[in-house]
Structure 1
Amino acid sequence: MSSEQEIKLTSFSSKGGCGCKIGPGDLRQVLRNLPPTEANPNLLVGLDTSDDAGVYKLSDDLAIVQTVDFFTPIVDDPYSFGQIAAANAISDVYAMGGKPLTALNIVAFPIATLDKSILSEILRGAADKAKEAGVTLVGGHSIDDKEPKFGMAVTGTVHPDKIRTNAGAQVGDRLILTKPIGVGIMTTSIKKGLLSPDEIARVTGVMAALNKTAAEIMEKYDVHACTDVTGFGLLGHALEMASASQAVISLSYEAVPVLPRTRELAELGSVPGGTKNNYAYIQENVTFPETMDQIDQWILCDAVTSGGLLISVSNEDAESLLAELRASHVEASLIGEVTEISRGHINVIYST
């Protein structure tokens, strides 16, 4: 493929930058109009708590975890795009405490417009990431479309008694985040030509990293709730956890890991629409300090692709879990705690 085609892969994305999901507010309005799903005792996790994946019980000691995710290009390198999309889709299974087993590719590609080698590289990147995760590719589906899109439908397994949902956070729990945020602002900046090659490599590496190590380590600890941070941003997914757990969560802004230059780039206008939609959705249920400006509030709502796990763990286990994650080269940070039982709410602490 030519270097020109590599550079302009993201220009085929009408959304640009973040490959954002439909905003949480719009999505909730759509889902509200659907009839309730028929009760099934084997459906252990469904739509009720806005969890990362569905879980269906097959037997007393086996359940399947199912998820799907795809989006438009957010980086210009096709191989990296495939890796990121695969890591992002597989992450939902890790967040539920499951082991991913199989995947189906989902492809939309302008076959007459872009060189076929670009699609080959996307698929190669995804296959390599799936292999790293121990996931077997079993097929897929493709369509000819003017806008390239790629993702996966992933199936995994979990013991019915060991499911991690976003609904179990308990008062006294500490919150650990396993990847830095700022991804949406950074990837929007790629499209605008504002990042250096080293900065592009850094954010690409964050997105392409599997949550496999973090998920395997947390199995040994008293984890009460877990979710992965993706399109609805850190505050969006934390609020889902708080609401599902009927709890109040306190987050320290200074403790949240943020990619370098994120604020500078946001000030230059690289705040994606998905980030602003996230902010509009959560602001009634989040208390920000009066001294915290709009840019920092947006950063906490930034639309993430293939973000880290947000783990609610007992206070007694938090420091040990954090130390083991860091020893295994996971970029983990303690960012907050669960403070009380109430309707879902987030309090942001900001001392600057």
Structure 2
Amino acid sequence: MQGKIACANVLSDLYAMGVSECDNMLMLLGISENFTYTQRQVVTPMMIQGFTDLCAEAGTSVNGGQTVINPWVIIGGVASAVCNKSEFIMPDGAVAGDVLVLTKPLGTQVAVNAHQWIEQPKWWDKVKDVITTEQVEEAYMAATYSMARLNRTGARLMHSYGAHGATDVTGFGLLGHARNLASAQKAPVSFKIHTLPVLDHMNRVASIIASRGLDFKLKEGLSAETSGGLLICLPKENSAAFCEELQKLDGAPSWIIGDVVAGNRTAEILSDAKIIDVDNSQ
């Protein structure tokens, strides 16, 4: 699964530009120097298999890369495509009146950490009053499958519904990437985010753990995501249909989370932003 997540994360850089076909994929692999021989023989092929399997689902294949011995296990890559102008969407065309659509829920970092805490009493004792181990397992599985899901369908639908630009949401969190996208716009606009869709129970976990020494800044939009969704600027009149078709094709929800307004190329999460608890069974 780690290999699949890495592949999905790498491909999202293309998908955020509306490019749905990857012409070349390189895989970068770091094998832990602390692995035993048996661990290396079991774990390494599984990681490679996950990466190549999702490449196949995306209609591409690994054509090279590099493998090194490393203190930690690392897997990633480089995705590239040769396109004509009609095949990509520059991320700079948002106009006032557009809306912001997010195609995956937030909270993956919180879910993965909470799953680790089940076996770490120091941390589990801080959250066990607000969540059960079963709820953590459900959130962890939902996060895992979300991270491994390609943003390819969203990239295709960006063309169908007249998207004016997009970015993928990863290490800088929702607000960090929204700020980067807003700063790139040709028109003097700003992004106002009014809704935060979060994996069920993860807002509660993030809130309690913040009061006890570890602040993910989830509600502030600064919690890192891995292989997160696309944040897309869409004409308001097309946004509901986009979400409906993405749900039909991918079997997963997306959300209208904000507005594009006249401004000075900034982004903010409104103080009264609504938290949506996303059903982890979806």
TM-score (norm 2): 0.82
1:157: which partner in 2? 82
Q: Is the 8 A contact 2:17 2:155 kept in 1?
A: no
1:191: which partner in 2? 116
Q: Is the 8 A contact 2:18 2:88 kept in 1?
A: yes
Counterpart residue identity of residue 136, structure 1: S
Give matches, 1:17-28, under 5 Å.
Answer: none
SS in 1 for 2:242: helix
Distance of 1:351 and 1:208 partners within structure 2: 28
SS in 2 for 1:164: coil
Q: Describe the shift of the 1:351–1:86 C-alpha distance in structure 2 as closer, same or farther (beyond 3 A).
A: closer
Counterpart residue identity of residue 266, structure 1: A
Question: Which of 169, 175, 185 is 2:94 aligned to?
Answer: 169
Question: Which of 220, 227, 240 is 1:319 aligned to?
Answer: 240
Distance of 2:10 and 2:226 partners within structure 1: 10
Counterpart residue identity of residue 5, structure 2: I
Cα deviation code 1:72-115 (max 9, x no counterpart) = xxxxxxxx111101111011111111121221110111255241
Q: Does structure 1 residue 309 correspond to structure 2 residue 230?
A: yes
Distance of 1:345 and 1:217 partners within structure 2: 24
Distance of 1:206 and 1:107 partners within structure 2: 22
- Which runs of 5 or more structure 1 residues have no equivalent in the other structure? 1-79, 280-294
Q: Is the 8 A contact 2:18 2:87 kept in 1?
A: yes
Counterpart residue identity of residue 164, structure 2: H
2:48: which partner in 1? 123
Counterpart residue identity of residue 258, structure 1: V
1:260: which partner in 2? 200
- Displacement, 1:163? 2.6
- Displacement, 1:269? 2.7
Give matches, 1:175-324, under 5 Å.
Answer: 175-193=100-118, 196=134, 197-245=137-185, 246-253=188-195, 256-269=196-209, 296-297=219-220, 300-324=221-245
- Displacement, 1:186? 1.2
2:22: which partner in 1? 100
Question: Which of 56, 64, 70 is 1:145 aligned to?
Answer: 70
Structure possessing the higher relative contact order (Cα contacts under 8 Å, 6 or more residues apart):
2
Q: Is the 8 A contact 1:186 1:270 kept in 2?
A: no
Distance of 2:224 and 2:256 partners within structure 1: 20
Counterpart residue identity of residue 82, structure 2: T
Distance of 1:122 and 1:304 partners within structure 2: 20
SS in 1 for 2:94: coil
Q: Is the 8 A contact 2:161 2:242 kept in 1?
A: yes
Among the aligned pairs, what percent are the same residue? 30
SS in 2 for 1:152: strand
1:332: which partner in 2? 254
Cα deviation code 1:317-345 (max 9, x no counterpart) = 12221221222223211111101132423
- Displacement, 1:180? 0.3
Counterpart residue identity of residue 56, structure 2: K
- Displacement, 1:274? 11
TM-score (norm 1): 0.66
Counterpart residue identity of residue 272, structure 2: Y
- Displacement, 1:161? 4.0
Cα deviation code 1:212-244 (max 9, x no counterpart) = 111112221211011111111111111111111
Q: Which of 169-178 and 105-114 deviates more?
A: 105-114
SS in 2 for 1:113: coil
Q: Describe the shift of the 1:171–1:275 C-alpha distance in structure 2 as closer, same or farther (beyond 3 A).
A: farther
Cα deviation code 1:45-75 (max 9, x no counterpart) = xxxxxxxxxxxxxxxxxxxxxxxxxxxxxxx
Q: Describe the shift of the 1:223–1:97 C-alpha distance in structure 2 as closer, same or farther (beyond 3 A).
A: same
- Which runs of 5 or more structure 2 residues have no equivalent in the other structure? 119-123, 125-132, 275-282
Q: Describe the shift of the 1:345–1:222 C-alpha distance in structure 2 as closer, same or farther (beyond 3 A).
A: same
CA RMSD of aligned residues (A): 2.3
SS in 2 for 1:223: coil
SS in 2 for 1:92: helix
